[in-house]
Amino acid sequence: MTDAHTNAPSDQQPGSDIMHTSVFRLAWPIFLQALLSMFLGYADTLMLSGFDQTAVGAIGNASQILGFLTLAFTVISSASGVVVAQYLGAGQKDKINQIYTLCIAFNLVLSLMISAVVFFGSHALLTLLRTPAEMMDSAQSYLRIVGGFVFLQAVLDTMSRIFQSNGKTVFGMVISLGINIINVGGNYLFLYGPLRTLGLGASGVAVSTTVSRAIGLLIAFVLFGFFIDGHISPRYLRPFPGKMLRTLLGLGIPTAGESISYYISQLFVTGFVNTLGIVAINTKIYAGILSNFAYLYSVSVAMATSIIVGHAVGAGDNDFAYRRVNKTMRSALVVSVAIACLNWLISPVTFGLFTANPDIADLRSRILWLGQQIMIIAIFLEMGRTSNLVIINSLKAAGDVRFPTYLGIVSMWGCTVVGGYVLGIVCGLGLRGIWVAMAADEIIRGIIVAIRWRRGSWRGKRVVSKE
């Protein structure tokens, strides 16, 4: 396919350095960062499990609220990745400082408002979630501390997107590693070390989490100052860049809407599974943990590819972007499906590890049998999901945001929610039916976006005009 606006060879384009960076070089730090971020979410729960089981449940309830509210930050942080990559690719560095400052300022103001709502409305939010009375005090103290300083995470997420768009994906990994080390060390001090005499429990864990994020954000600004060609200053907001903000919101709101829709649809799926009994509930949890390895690989490769695509589209080299995505798709499908097949082959062992307690022999055998069936279906699910992640992230990086977003919302509710209810509950297929519906959602979307990518409907949708 040829774009009428693409004439110059790619090696003469301003974005050539990152355009010609290997996907693997950009992807492996993203993979480790995602893995570390996932561990950070589990660290508080795991370390509290040996200290206070009530506090574990309290943190679980508080984290649900925080997880939903922080979706608001993706409005600008996701859009900043697209805009920064395209402007860098186009070589229009005069706009970059303004974009950096605007993204940080918007997310800071928004997150400060959310922090205030969480701090002063923590009890009402937890009551709305029907948090048990015995968990309320611990949950409220954790939510007020972590939620009250949630602006730290909002700005940190934006900085991470800026680093990624500049090809410095390793920075996000280093920061996540530092945050994890500090958080685990702090948790130990409050729960099992010298500070345990304070008896803070969940509050101590919340302080540890908050302090680790504050230090992580400080490191992020230091790395920005030394290694990123740009500046962040209020002077770049005078006069206020209203047009640029509208562009960012136009890109970010649909993406955030899709994330919120996905979050709510998964609550419905969880509700369906909860009606199927302990075997289905536990199998879903275990299968989700195992599938995360294939998912993390796919999403890391997809994000790395989208960085390259953003620079290529900004530089006006759509043909290069087209070829890059096609090449990534072939290798990503092979690896992700291989991981899914391996998950199925070793599922008797892995599910056995999760259910090693000899007192639950009957439950164990039922989970093992159902788990193996689910992991077979997961092979087909990964085929569709890998295509979705690679192509949809690339479409958005090219500025084609609305179509994949609307498609995702329609498909996840039509296939996953409605299809899962019909197959899993009405037809009596249980968890197998729900997993088939989820696989159908991913495969149908994967086919549609692949057709859109081949047809080139994304060409000409870039957000930066070539100068």
- What is the reported pTM? 0.86
**pLDDT tens digits for range 107-131:** 999 999 999 998 998 888 888 777 7
- One-letter amino acid at 372 equals Q
Quick one: which of 445, 414, 419 has its CA closest to 433?
A: 419
- Residue 211's Cβ-side half-sphere holds a number of Cα atoms within 13 Å equal to 14
Interval 364-368 mean pLDDT: 83
The amino acid sitting at 320 is F
pLDDT at 395 over 50: yes
Task: Single out the residue of 377, 157, 416, 396 nearest to residue 262, CA to CA.
Answer: 416
* 8 Å CB contact between 204 and 210: no
Q: Give dist(CA 304, CA 409) in Å, integer.
A: 24
Predicted confidence at residue 10, as pLDDT, reads 37
How does pLDDT run across 15-43, given as a tens digit for each residue?
458 888 999 999 999 999 888 887 776 67
CA pair distance 289, 371, nearest whole angstrom: 12
For 3-29, the DSSP string reads: -TT--S-GGGSTTHHHHTS-HHHHHHH
Spatial distance between the Cα atoms of 233 and 151, rounded to a whole number of angstroms? 18
Q: Residue 304: pLDDT band by 50, 70, 90 thresholds?
A: very high
- Find how far residue 387's CA is from the centre of its chain: 17
Joined tokens for residue 97: 């400082």
Q: Which residue has the higher pLDDT, 169 or 39?
A: 169
Q: What is the pLDDT of residue 4?
A: 37
Mean pLDDT of 224-238: 93
